Structure 1
Amino acid sequence: MNLQLYKAIIKVLLEHQHYIAVVNIAAQLAVSAKTIHNYLSEPVFHEMIRPCTVDKKQKLGIKLIGNENQRNELYEKLLLAEYPASRQDYIPALEDEAYILHTLFRLGTPCTIQSLAAALYKSRTGIQGVLKPIAQWLHKHDVFLIKKEHVGIWLQGDEGKIRTAYKELCLQMKIALPAAGESTTVPDRLTRQNYLRLCCFFGRESVDALQQILTLGEVVLNNKFTENDFFELLLKLSICLQRIRIKKLTTIDTTSLKNIHEYLAAQVMRSHIEERFQMKFPDEELYEITRYLLAARKQKNSPVPINEVQINEPLTQQFIRRISQFLQIDLTGDQDLIHNLLLHLKPAIRRIKYGAKTENPLLDKIRHNYTNIYLAVMTSIEELEQEEKIAFDANEIGYLCLHIAAAVNRRENGQYIKTCLICDGGITLSKYLESMLQSHIEELKIIKVCTSSELKHMNPEEFDLLLDETHLIKSEDAKLIQISDLLEPDDIAKIKSWIVGRHVLYFQQTVTGLRDKVLYVHDDLKSKEEVLIKYGHYLQEKGYVKPGYAESMLEREKRASTAMGRYVAVPHGSHTLVLVSSLVIVNLKHTISWDEFNVDLVFVLAANFSNVATNQYFFRRLYSIIKDETLISKIKKSADTQAIQALFLEAPAYVVQGEKNN
Structure 2
Amino acid sequence: MLSSRKLHILQELMAAKRPITGNDLADKIHVTARTIRNDIKELHVILLRYGGMIKSTRGVGYELIIKNSKAFKGFLQEVLNNSTINTMLDVPEDRVLYILRKLLLANNYQKLDDIAYELYISKSTLHKDLTEVKRIFNLFNLELVSKPYYGVKVKGNEMNVRFCLAEYLFNRKEIVLDMQSQMQDVLPKDEINRIYTIILEEVKDNNIELSDIALNNLSIHFAIACKRIRNKNYVLLPPEDLEAIYTQFEYKVAKHIVERVEESLQVTFPKTEIAYIAIHLLGTKKMANISVNRHEFEGFVESALRDAIKEFIMLVDERLDLNLTEDNELFIALGLHLQPTLNRLRHGMNMRNPMINEIKRKYPFAFDAAILSREVFREKLGVDIDEEEVGYIALHISVAIFRQKKKQSIKSCLIVCATGMGSAMLLKYRLESKYSNQLYVVDTINYYRLNESSMEHIDFIITTIPIEKEFPVPTILVNTILGTDDLLKVESYLQNSYENKVDYLREELIFLHKDLLTKEEVIKYLAKKMEENGYVNHLFVNSVLEREKLSPTSFGNLVAIPHSLEPYTKETFLAICTLKKPIDWEGSRVQIICLLSIGENKTSELKTMYNHLIGIIENKTKVKQLLSCEEKDEFINTLNRGL
TM class by shorter chain equals 0.5 to 0.7
* CA deviation map 1:182-233 (0-9, x unaligned): xxxxxxxx97x53576466235797578658856974797413234432221
1:95 paired residue number: 85
Question: Per the alignment, in what secondary structure is the counterpart of residue 169 of structure 2?
Answer: helix
Picking from 573, 579, 595, the partner of 1:588 is: 579
Question: Per the alignment, in what secondary structure is the counterpart of residue 170 of structure 2?
Answer: helix
1:42 paired residue number: none
Picking from 213, 217, 220, the partner of 1:232 is: 217
- Judged with a 3 Å threshold, the aligned counterparts in structure 2 of structure 1 residues 420 and 463 are, in CA distance, closer, same or farther, namely same
**Larger deviation, residues 312-321 vs 272-281:** 312-321
1:151 paired residue number: 150
1:445 CA displacement? 0.4
- 1:152-551 equivalences under 5 Å are 152-155=151-154, 163=162, 165-167=164-166, 169-171=168-170, 193-195=178-180, 198=183, 201-202=186-187, 214=199, 218=203, 222-240=207-225, 242=227, 265-266=250-251, 269=254, 277-278=267-268, 280=270, 290=279, 293-295=282-284, 303=297, 304-305=300-301, 307-310=303-306, 311-312=309-310, 315=313, 341-350=330-339, 353=342, 355=345, 357-366=350-359, 371=361, 373-381=362-370, 393-394=387-388, 396-397=390-391, 400-401=394-395, 404=398, 417-419=411-413, 434-439=428-433, 445-446=439-440, 460-465=455-460, 477-479=471-473, 507-508=499-500, 511-512=502-503, 514-515=505-506, 518-520=509-511, 522-533=513-524, 535-536=526-527, 539=530, 542-545=533-536, 548-551=539-542
Question: Per the alignment, in what secondary structure is the counterpart of residue 565 of structure 1?
Answer: coil
Distance 1:110 1:496 in 2: 68
1:585 CA displacement? 1.9
Picking from 542, 549, 555, the partner of 1:564 is: 555
Return the letter of the residue paired with 1:106.
L
- Judged with a 3 Å threshold, the aligned counterparts in structure 2 of structure 1 residues 322 and 395 are, in CA distance, closer, same or farther, namely same
The answer on whether the counterparts of 1:217 and 1:268 sit within 8 Å (CA) in structure 2 is: yes
The answer on whether the counterparts of 1:422 and 1:466 sit within 8 Å (CA) in structure 2 is: yes
* CA deviation map 1:417-466 (0-9, x unaligned): 4336899xxxx9998774234247789601757999xx9xx985333136
**Larger deviation, residues 353-362 vs 460-469:** 460-469
1:560 CA displacement? 3.2
Picking from 114, 133, 138, the partner of 1:138 is: 133
- Judged with a 3 Å threshold, the aligned counterparts in structure 2 of structure 1 residues 113 and 572 are, in CA distance, closer, same or farther, namely closer
* CA deviation map 1:318-365 (0-9, x unaligned): 86996999xxxxxx9xx9xx6764453223443555536533323445
* CA deviation map 1:262-291 (0-9, x unaligned): 9662586379859955465659x9579636
- Judged with a 3 Å threshold, the aligned counterparts in structure 2 of structure 1 residues 554 and 459 are, in CA distance, closer, same or farther, namely farther
Alpha-carbon RMSD across the aligned residues, in angstroms, is 6.3
1:645 CA displacement? 4.1
Return the letter of the residue paired with 1:95.
I
Q: TM-score, normalised by structure 1?
A: 0.56
1:381 CA displacement? 4.0
Distance 1:500 1:278 in 2: 66
Question: Per the alignment, in what secondary structure is the counterpart of residue 418 of structure 1?
Answer: strand
The answer on whether the counterparts of 1:216 and 1:269 sit within 8 Å (CA) in structure 2 is: no
The answer on whether the counterparts of 2:199 and 2:257 sit within 8 Å (CA) in structure 1 is: no
Return the letter of the residue paired with 2:186.
F
The answer on whether the counterparts of 2:535 and 2:569 sit within 8 Å (CA) in structure 1 is: yes
Return the letter of the residue paired with 2:458.
F
Q: TM-score, normalised by structure 2?
A: 0.58
Return the letter of the residue paired with 1:138.
V
* CA deviation map 1:102-126 (0-9, x unaligned): 4521345423469x69xx9x89999
Which protein, 1 or 2, shows the higher relative CO under an 8 Å CA cutoff with sep ≥ 6?
A: 1
1:235 CA displacement? 1.0
Question: Per the alignment, in what secondary structure is the counterpart of residue 353 of structure 2?
Answer: coil
1:531 CA displacement? 3.7
1:10 paired residue number: none
Unmatched 5+ residue regions in structure 1? Answer: 1-90, 174-189, 326-331, 470-474, 653-662
The answer on whether the counterparts of 2:334 and 2:396 sit within 8 Å (CA) in structure 1 is: no
Distance 1:257 1:432 in 2: 73
The answer on whether the counterparts of 1:107 and 1:246 sit within 8 Å (CA) in structure 2 is: no
- Judged with a 3 Å threshold, the aligned counterparts in structure 2 of structure 1 residues 406 and 129 are, in CA distance, closer, same or farther, namely same
1:494 CA displacement? 10
The answer on whether the counterparts of 2:254 and 2:275 sit within 8 Å (CA) in structure 1 is: no
Unmatched 5+ residue regions in structure 2? Answer: 1-80, 87-94, 379-383
Question: Per the alignment, in what secondary structure is the counterpart of residue 575 of structure 2?
Answer: strand
- Judged with a 3 Å threshold, the aligned counterparts in structure 2 of structure 1 residues 240 and 588 are, in CA distance, closer, same or farther, namely farther
1:294 CA displacement? 1.7
The answer on whether the counterparts of 1:570 and 1:604 sit within 8 Å (CA) in structure 2 is: yes
Q: How many residues align?
A: 511
Percent of aligned pairs with the same amino acid = 16
Return the letter of the residue paired with 1:236.
H
- Judged with a 3 Å threshold, the aligned counterparts in structure 2 of structure 1 residues 547 and 140 are, in CA distance, closer, same or farther, namely same
Return the letter of the residue paired with 1:376.
F
* CA deviation map 1:128-161 (0-9, x unaligned): 6995696377368456765543121223689777
* CA deviation map 1:367-413 (0-9, x unaligned): 5xxx4x4222234446666666675735643674588489869999x
Q: Which structure would you say has the larger Rg?
A: 1
Question: Per the alignment, in what secondary structure is the counterpart of residue 419 of structure 1?
Answer: strand
- The answer to whether the aligner puts 1:608 opposite 2:599 as a matched pair is yes
Distance 1:377 1:634 in 2: 29
1:622 paired residue number: 613
Distance 2:211 2:492 in 1: 49
**Larger deviation, residues 268-277 vs 578-587:** 268-277
Question: Per the alignment, in what secondary structure is the counterpart of residue 210 of structure 2?
Answer: coil
1:634 paired residue number: 625
